[in-house]
Amino acid sequence: MAISPFEDRYRTEMNDIFEEDNRLCKWMQVEISLAKAHARLGTIPKEAVKQIEDGSRKVKPGRVKQIEAEIHHDLMAMVKALSEQSGDAGKYVHLGATSYDIEDTATALIFMDALEALDSRLETLAGVLRELARKHKRTVCIGRTHGQHAVPTTYGMKFAIYYQELLRDGERLKEAEKRIGVGKMSGATGTMATFGANGMEIQAMVMKDLGLEPARASNQVIQRDRHAEVLCCLALTAALLEKMAKEVRNLQRTEILELSEPFGRKQVGSSTMPHKRNPHKSERVCSLARLVRANVLTALENIPLEHERDLTNSANERAIFGESFIAVDYMALEMTKILQGLEIFPENIEKNLDMTHGLVMAERLMIALTDKGMGRQEAHELVRTLAQRAFSENKELKALAAEKKLLSQKELDVIFDPHTYIGCAEKIVEEATRD
């Protein structure tokens, strides 16, 4: 039975990238590239490379675990298992390397695969947001600031804003990819002493073979600012996903109910209240965002390792790297499903637009009065007074404005139509979602 919910409940294709078996494969991939570099320089026989490659296909994870139980060192357990399966070439496995030459370089490979997978997931979500923005560019609704009715906006604007933010998140992850796609082959303190004069050349050859950039300077590890940057970017993406989910949750409130996340025909909302349609999918997204943000703090704590390195980063990184990527991938998948099945209730959107008896058109009334020649401050004070009276007496602002006889009934009819007070919203959406 799984202990972590990321092993089953929140599992996605991302799990395969962070599975222990894949990590073992990546370790051996780095070892093979190191052997290739040695063979090119003539420090080991060329035929040794094929023997090590063949050996890597015979290594069993169970054997690695068995060795680790004896020696208490996971990377060295892999080295011994690979050496066992490589015949005479086993003596050349891991030649000149330290553990984190292999581990950190393999981690870079894993991060690159994970970023590619996440990019695909976010691209799908972006397509859904873009489609919704264009579909609802004329769906007028009440805008809310400070939790209060403000002035009209459109649902297209909401989705276009999310779409643009998601594009920025994608750009940030692409930028971080440049700095995480880095490996090292520099030994115990980064001096490459075990490789002698060939150190720089070996590192360059290994990284070229793996498709990574060589670290220009490192100690026993790749510096953790790189990993922290990626987790910061993941947290930014998680924050956007939470923002979208929170909006769904709030707009699904019984007294608002302008939209709702999809609710299955046999779905149960509550164990005791049969009528409930809880937005539990959106709440789950918000919950996981907290975990992703918390992992950023741990990643930042891993940056100031002591001297040329200590091991305080190692244990927590086994959790925070995979957890963060899987959580964001799952959140993006869930948010995509929520938006694809989003239920929208036009009658409630209209009801909420009219809820305040025209108070939300106060701004437009003020502007209309200034167009008639009234000073801006005078117009603001007049409309503010009328709005306070309309609120306290539960009257239509339009009717109170008509009593002042400053504008014709035809003008007031236009002013108090919320569907015609969305400014450039339609054009903004079109520009924001343009190819």
CB-CB contact of 135 with 339 (8 Å)? no
Residues 6 or more apart in contact with residue 387 via CB below 8 angstroms: 359, 362, 397
Residues 6 or more apart in contact with residue 428 via CB below 8 angstroms: 157, 160
Sign of the Cα torsion 179, 184, 186, 189 reads positive
* Active-site residue identified among 146, 271, 275, 392: 146
CA distance 35 to 50: 9
CA distance 36 to 52: 10
* Active-site residue identified among 120, 270, 408, 419: 270
- CB atoms inside a 10 Å sphere around CB 210: 22
Give the three-class secondary structure for 9: coil
CA distance 300 to 302: 5
Phi, psi of 158, deg, nearest 5: -55, -50
Question: Active-site residue 270, yes or no?
Answer: yes
CA distance 34 to 49: 9
CA angle 22, 28, 33 (to 5 degrees): 125
Here the contacts of 248-257 (C-beta below 8 Å, separation 24 or greater) are 248/279, 248/282, 248/338, 248/342, 249/279, 249/282, 249/283, 249/286, 252/277, 252/279, 252/282, 256/348, 256/352, 257/345, 257/348
CB-CB contact of 184 with 96 (8 Å)? no
Per the DSSP assignment, residues forming a β-bridge with 154 are 140
Residue ranges in 86-221 assigned as alpha helix (H): 99-135, 155-180, 199-210
CA distance 416 to 234: 44
Could you give the residue numbers annotated as active site?
146, 270
